[in-house]
Amino acid sequence: MAPGTPAVDGRRIVGVNAETVTHVSSTDFPGHYPGEDHSWSIENFKKNLQVVIHHSEALDCSFSLIGVDASIANAFRRILIAEIPTLAIEYVFIWNNTSIVQDEVLAQRLGLVPLTGSKTGLNWLKWYRKPTEEDPIAPPPNDYNTIVLKLQVECTKNPGAKKGETDPTKLYNNAHVYASALTFEPVGQQNEMFPEPYGSIAPVNPNILLAKLRPGQAIDLEMHCIKGIGADHAKFSPVATASYRLLPTISITSPITGKDAEKFARCFPRGVIGLEEVTAEEVDRGEGIEGEKKAVVLDAMKDTVSRECLRHPEFEGKVKLGRVRDHFIFSIESTGQFDSDELFVDSVKLLKVKCNRLRNSLASMAR
């Protein structure tokens, strides 16, 4: 169990055995336990819901979401991946491309470059409604729905290169074309919404390699960026990964001491199991020899539930592994357009919008 984590009701534990997994079904419904009412209520939900932040950085955050069903946790994960709108390159107009990278491949590479800019401006941008078979007439690009980027680069020989030099980056100018070569062309109100130098649209990582050139080769193109969602294309997904896992539990039911304790600790990732000396009080309870090393659980959250300890006969009947059914450890890695913690808040807002839409639809049906 993680430090500071309260004891968990055994009914909430998913049993992890040597060959099977038990107690996997949810118990949040009436009649599961005789004489007990487990029907859902908003008051119980508020009382049991917890959010514990483990670390929070711009590109990476981890937190525990406690007291919700797996369906809710998975809804947040799917919204994070597929439904939070972001800005990405959608249209590429190639005027000249004499590199060895084909036009369509270069356009695909450009589309996958994560972009960043002023968050105020990114939220100000409107959706660009693309033409469809039902509505083939799309609105023209405007300053509030389209961002224009340009890439103009040509490779030339470096007259100052040393004789016998073999490094192409020193032999030639612009031998490697990086994402830093993309330039932002603001129009209309975009000058105010994406101010220089830190608010303008730019690649999250300027060192992404786009193409390699040699003397005489050049790339000249224009890109139009629009807002979209990951359900349409992965380039619009705001996260590199968004995942969760259940909190592991490790219960040592019988003392593990001496050499067995050291072997037991090696069955888990570093930091999960620690070694402490047996105290006089524990000796009185028949839990070993005073001064001898015994195994204790330091931080079960670091465990990967490999079941290695269940493969050794000396630990049989001395340890129980499990996972807490309603304790989800989330990990979110942002691609850089928005901070990782902001993305989860956005997913909560989107789920609320979906719920309101469903409620209104049901009310309309009732009428």
Contact criterion met (CB below 8 Å) for 62 and 329: yes
pTM: 0.85
CATH T-level fold of 86-237: RNA Polymerase Alpha Subunit; Chain A, domain 2 (2.170.120)
Give the residue ranges of the chain where pLDDT is below 70.
1-7, 27-32, 284
Q: Where are the beta strands (DSSP E) in the chain?
A: 13-16, 21-22, 50-56, 60-66, 86-97, 115-116, 147-154, 156-157, 172-173, 176-178, 183-184, 202-203, 209-212, 218-228, 239-252, 273-277, 293-297, 319-334
Name the 3-class secondary structure at 109.
helix
Give the pLDDT confidence of 41-95 residue by residue, as tens digits: 888 889 989 999 999 999 999 999 999 989 999 999 999 999 999 999 999 999 9
Whole-angstrom distance, CA of residue 131 vs CA of residue 299: 54
- pLDDT value at residue 4: 45
How far is residue 327 from each of residues 273, 303, 324, measured CA to CA in Å? 21, 14, 5
Domain ranges in the chain?
10-82+241-330, 86-237
Q: Is 296 exposed, middle or buried (0-12, 13-18, 19+ CB in 10 A)?
A: middle
Q: Please compute, for residue 214, the number of CA atoms within 13 A of its CA located in the half-sphere on the CB side.
A: 3
Cα 172-177-179 angle, rounded to 5 deg: 150
Cβ-contact 332, 343 below 8 angstroms: yes
How remote is the C-alpha of 123 from its chain's centroid? Answer: 21
pLDDT at res. 204 = 95
Contact partners, residue 138, CB within 8 Å, separation at least 6: 128, 129, 130, 131
Within 13 Å and on the Cβ side, how many CA atoms surround 276?
Answer: 12
Give one DSSP letter per residue of 80-105, joined into a string: HHHTS-EEEEEEEEEEEE-SSS-HHH
Fold of the 10-82+241-330 domain: Gyrase A; domain 2 (3.30.1360)
What pLDDT is recorded for position 28? 66
Relative to beta strand 86-97, strand 218-228 is: antiparallel
